Amino acid sequence: MVNLRAKYIFAGAAFAAAATLAPTAFAQWQPTKPVTFVIPAGTGGGADQMARMIQGIAAKYNLTSQPIVVVNKAGGAGAEGFLDVKQSNGDPHKIIITLSNLFTTPLATGVPFNWKDMTPVAMLALDQFVLWVNAETPYKTPKDYLDAVKAGGPNKFKMGGTGSKQEDQIITVAIEKLTGAKFTYIPYKGGGDVAVQLVGKHVDSTVNNPIEAVAQWRAGSLRPLCVLDSKRMPYKEKMTSDMSWNDIPTCKETGFDVEYLMLRGIFMSPGVQQQHVDYYVGVFKKVMETPEWKDFMEKGAFNTTFMTGKEYSDWVANAEKAHLELMKEAGFLAKTN
Partner 1 sequence: MEEIQALFHGFAVVLQPFNLVLMVIGIVLGVIIGVLPGLGGANGVAILLPLTFSMPPTSAIIMLSCIYWGALFGGAITSILFNIPGEPWSVATTFDGHPMAQKGQAGEALTGAFTSSFVGALVAVVLITFLAPLVARFALRFGPPEFFAVQFLTFCSFIGMGRGSPFKTMASMMLGFAMAAVGLDTVTGTLRMTFGWSELLRGFDFLIAVIGLFGIGEILLTMEEGLAFKGMSAKLNLKVVLQTWRQLPAYWLTSLRASTIGCWMGITPGGATPASFMSYGIAKRFSKNGDKFGTGELEGVIAPETAAHAAGTSALLPMLTLGIPGSPTAAVLLGGLLIWGLQPGPLLFIEQKEFVWGLIASMYLGNIVGLIIVLTCVPFFAAILRVPFSIIAPIILVICAVGAYTVHNAMLDIWLMVLFGVIGYVFKKLDYPLPPMVLALVLGDMAESSFRQSMLSSQGSLSIFWSNPLVATIFGLGLILLFWPLISWIMQLAKRRAVVSSGS
Partner 2 sequence: MTTRSVEIVVAVVFLVIGAVVIIDSLRVGAGWDSDAPGAGYFPFYIGLMMTAASIIILIQALVSKSSELAKTFVDPVAFRPVLLVLAPTLVYVLVIEFLGIYVASAIFIGAFMVYFGSYGWTKTIAVSILVPAAMFMMFEIWFLVPLPKGPLEALFGY
Q: Which of 16, 39, 41, 70 is the binder for partner 2 (CB under 8 A)?
A: 70
Compute the half-sphere exposure of residue 259: CA atoms within 13 Å on the CB side of its CA: 10
Binding status of residue 33 toward partner 2 by CB under 8 A: yes
- Using CB distances below 5 to 8 A depending on partner kind, what does residue 33 bind out of partner 1, partner 2, none? partner 2
Whether the CB-CB separation of 281 and 122 falls below 8 Å is answered with yes
Binding status of residue 60 toward partner 2 by CB under 8 A: no
Binding status of residue 69 toward partner 2 by CB under 8 A: yes
- Is residue 180 classed exposed, middle or buried when 0-12, 13-18 and 19+ CB atoms within 10 A define those classes? exposed
Rank residues 37 and 260 by Cβ distance to partner 2 and give the closer one.
37
Binding status of residue 269 toward partner 2 by CB under 8 A: no
In terms of DSSP bridges, do strands 119-127 and 307-308 run parallel, antiparallel, or are they unpaired? antiparallel
Backbone angles phi and psi of 246, in degrees to 5 = -65, -25
| E strand residue ranges, the chain | 35-39, 68-72, 94-98, 119-127, 130-134, 157-162, 183-188, 205-206, 222-227, 262-268, 307-308
Binding residues vs partner 1 (CB under 8 A): 42-45, 48-49, 52-53, 55-57, 59-60, 70-77, 79-80, 83, 108-111, 155, 158, 163-166, 184-190, 192-193, 195-197, 199-200, 202-203, 211, 214-216, 218-219, 221, 292, 295-296, 299-300, 332, 337
Rank residues 251 and 268 by Cβ distance to partner 1 and give the closer one.
268
Closest CA to 171 of 220, 208, 122: 208
Q: Find the helix packing angle between 274-289 and 46-60, rounded to 10°.
A: 90
> Which range binds partner 2 by CB under 8 A, 31-39, 100-108, 133-141, 212-220?
31-39
Beta carbon of residue 171, minimum distance to partner 1 (angstroms, whole number): 15
Rank residues 296 and 312 by Cβ distance to partner 1 and give the closer one.
296
Q: Which of 34, 200, 234, 271 is the binder for partner 2 (CB under 8 A)?
A: 34
Beta carbon of residue 332, minimum distance to partner 1 (angstroms, whole number): 7
Binding status of residue 236 toward partner 2 by CB under 8 A: no
Per-residue binding string, partner 2, 131-170, x by CB under 8 A, is ------------------------x---------------
Q: Which of 14, 21, 67, 178 is the binder for partner 2 (CB under 8 A)?
A: 67
- Using CB distances below 5 to 8 A depending on partner kind, what does residue 53 bind out of partner 2, partner 1, none? partner 1
| AA identity, residue 89 | N
- Output the CA angle 266-269-274, nearest 5 degrees: 80
Sheet holding 262-268, edge to edge: 68-72, 35-39, 94-98, 262-268, 119-127, 307-308
Report how far residue 119's alpha carbon sits from residue 95's, in angstroms, rounded to the nearest whole number: 9
- Residues contributing to the site for partner 2 (CB under 8 A): 32-34, 36, 67-71, 155, 184
